[in-house]
Structure 1
Amino acid sequence: MNQEEIVEVLQEKFSIVNSNNRIGLNGEWGIGKSFAWELFKKRLKNKEESSNELKVIYCSLFGIENINTLKRELKRKKLEQDERYGKVAASGKYPAIKMLGDVLSTKFLGSTIDLLEMVSLEFGSDYLICFDDLERTSDSIQISDVMGVIEQVAQSAKVLVIYNDQEMRKKTEDFQRQKEKILDFEYTLDSLSEQVIEQIIINQKIVLADEKETLTKFFLEHGKNNLRTLKKLTSYVQELKGKVPLNRELINLCAAVFLEEMLNRSEEKELTDEEKSKAELNPLLEYQKYKINYRAFSLLDHIKNYLVTNKIDPTLFDSFVNPAEKSKIVLLMDQFYEGILSSKYVIEETISESIQLLKTGSANELSEDYIILLVADMKNFNNLFNLKLVPANIDDVALERIKELLEKNVLHKEMLSGRFNSTFRKLSISNKKFPLVQNLLSQSKQYEEQLIKQLYSKEFKKRFEEENYDECEIILNKNVNLIADHLYIFDNLAQPCSSDYFNFIRNLLENTTIDSIVKKQIRQALFGLKRKQKDIVIVYRISLVLKEFLNGAYGKAKKN
């Protein structure tokens, strides 16, 4: 039964006047038993007021340590439902009763009276008492004692007991006999209704009709009949939506990755050698049951990697969602995954086309990060199917093209005072493919760093000649060891100089990240400059800087 069916049954059973129906609601953790109860209460509240209106009391047994605590909680809630108590407490005429919820006792003729002891556990057929979380009762209390209280309450009121039968049997072997003695009916919640799934998805802020329909359909077909799973899944998709564009195909892929990587892994059985071999040969095998469009599989590794690194490249998803904007290199990457679902011939042709693109493709067809991703795919599929089509020098070919693109893009890119983001900063490569391009990526980053250093150096020299020392400091904060190429800046200490320049030099020498070799070069430059001076003021100025630098243990801040 699902939530809607359960609610209909509860409405029917508990609507019978002068009847004390005792109902048990069983279900696994996370299936939505408490959600069904809340839905039932909401339906009760929406009904027209009538003389037969139920007075509802909810009591969670989670953490209840002893029977006395349970009884007092029931009595307290009974009083809260009593209109007479509400009127008396509101009048203020009887402070002891008004403070009952806080004090629970008062002094009368010199003796202390526990007011709650005077309250009966008899309710009436117009009361519905819900006992939730039966299996979460503290180990310090006997289940038979709890069931005894429930039976006592059920003598005069309608009762709903919510529990996980499987967990209850672990707590007590006698549970079956106990519930048969007390309960009139037992129903099992074992599925989620479509209405409930839609409501949960809407509550998670996914309100677009297409997205709601996609997630609802996916969960009904592949879900675990678990509200917690649904909430986590929906939250995960919503999180990704805030970072990358998603269409119907990608929502399905994201949901499949979540179920496989975040949930199924914890439940996965030990694979046989044959199953492991098949999984290694075809990494998409485990996802075939989700019927994902092959085009979406090109982003599978990037979504998996996001679960581990929290990093993802939105441009890849832009290209997928807007196919018209796809470059030749992205289309080839898609084609690899088409090959897995079609034939070996498609993969062979795709590798050949990829090699040709790297060798002769125009700059408009290539990008630095996509070249690395393409090489990773080429090597991966070449190894998987033992094709021997990828030449041994493919990294060299790829690196030359990457260098061409970096020279074009980095050196001609406008940069404000050293603020520059690496081309490879958002590159996302799966752990499986990373070793295949680790060397290529490392060499590409090194070359980019060389180009950026040249750009920084040029910009620093320009700002220094303009006496814009604030901008100089910003650039050096990006790469303080750049100073090794600009030791001439200390020459101004031998000339009349501004306070801005002098403070810039002192702040620079206080930087704790200066490399030891660079520190040695700075020290030699300052000593050499000092030896050449005859003016006592200039000698003092240079000596002051040297003293701060040396006393600061080569860069530890030590201001006057």
Structure 2
Amino acid sequence: MKHIEELVGNYLKLNTDYALFITGKWGIGKTYYYNNTLVSLIKNTEINNYEKNNSKKFIPVYISLFGIKTIEDLQTQILLSIYKINGKKAKLATSIASACIRGFASYHNVEIETSDILPNTLNIRGFDDLILCFDDIERKNDELNIKELAGYINLLLENYSAKIILIANEKEIKDNKTTEGKNNWKEIKDKIVGNTIEFNPDLSFSINGIIESLNTNSDYRSYLKEELDFILETFSKTSLNLRTLKYALSCFQTVFNLIEPLLDKYTEIKNNKAEILKSLLYFTIVISEEYRLGKITYSENNGIDNCWSFLWLEDFHSNNGTVELTEDNQSYAGQYYHKYYAPAMPTFYQSIYDFVTGGAIFHKESFIEQLKKDYHVYDNSKSKIEILFDVLSRDNCFLLSEKEYRERTKELLSYIEKGLYSDPERYVNCLYFVLRFDNILNYNPARLVKRIKIGLNKADINFRYYESFKDRLHASRNEKDSLAEYKTEIINCLDLKYQKYQKIIDKTKIEEYEDMCKKSIYDFCLFLYDKGIHGILDKIDTKVFYLSFIRANTEAKYKVTGCIDVVLSKYSNIYYLKDFLPFLVGLQSLLKKGEKQYAKKTVSGYCYRKFQESINGYIEKINIELKQYQNSNS
């Protein structure tokens, strides 16, 4: 990446009337590189021909265009970014005032003097001292025309001799259509950009940066550094989105810290510890990739938990000439297997899958149980009760004597009644095991169900796998079955227990979301942009969101306004948005109550009013569209 530093360093030293443009795919670390490398370069570069002090150095000013709707919004963001450099009292040069003040003080009726923005100690003279970085150009709001944006950038370049670095994924910049025709970005770019730099990061450097940035212990950081080549090899199979990799390594941090000490407990597992950790790390990275690409969800894994059955079916059709397999007609499970595992045996860890896809917290107990099965590890108390089901299976029960059959069945029922099984399906199976063969053991079915339900209520059921076979349990109900009503009663009991479990999981997830919001409301809004709002914005406490907004600094307040606008505008289906109306109305009420205290004629007060206007606008829009829909269907 040295060549980029050299190009930027040379740009800073020259008298220019053009911008530098750094382009590259999403998530490969462009912004990270700017913040961690170029900012330091800029701050340590002396300004040539500075009149008063030859040792004067540049000041970087970073502005994200994410959600920016108008030039006035952009001007406001520039001013806020400058305002943040050294506190509330600052001195603003005439050139900055003329370039930005239209979008802020006079336009928004904020009481602020042009001589009171940047600190006197900085002695900033217009844009001479500043390097403006405009990031996320492709994520601007569609209402801001690309030609208008380029025109304003050109104004800063030519009229104010500003130095500007642009950062974007050029392939994602949309051309705008107007009444005058199409505004083509590539044609417009030639008028403002002098040099376009392709950002092709050193992945080892970038991944090292991610590892260093993780808030973790030394053991986990050391492990990741030891496996850097393996991470790099795995990452090369993905879309190379560093944000996704950071998400994966953050998830794996939880897995590693919880299970790494436990792997030494069992000899069979301990001997394969390095192999197991690698397999888990690999699985976490590829599942994070597929999840963030939207190809899988918590409830829809599209068959990747059972790749072999899909592959067998595909091979059958291919070998028999039924269909010629291509990338287009191959199942998703087949594509997943060939991309990440072929020709080796695929692995699937349900507990990690649920955790990465947001369905549940990571349960180490479930994971360890899976490992013990994979490596044939049993502790005696559990192996005995599990083996009992094998002994009484249809294939093996005929090998027992009449006495053994009765004793083993009675023993099974005692374990069921004590709630010793964590697998919910065992309780349904027990009904058939006890009453099969025309109820030769002469049990009363109603009383038997009561005993099974007693065990269910005592049991610590492992519901992490319940979703995968719940539909099958319901679908298998057969009214002609003499045991159908008893089976239904057990299934209903399971469903009720599952609902209680899900409430606990939901509460835990809501608490996690609210903690995220409290730490940084802007990061939380970016999370909503990536993840979606369903099951989050309609669940969290409105007051938590409101107080997080109030406590945020001025710049964060302004960014949240643009971000939440983009997040909500992604959803055009009114019946989807109406589910979030209670949250928005609650937020509207809190904002109204806080007007007197927070909506003052200040920079922060302006951001408060701007956010309030946005929320009010969405509520009005939803209500109007709901009314129109109701009228059209009445």
In the superposition, the TM-score normalised over structure 1's length comes to 0.49
Highest CA radius of gyration, 1 or 2?
A: 1
* TM-score with structure 2 setting the length: 0.45
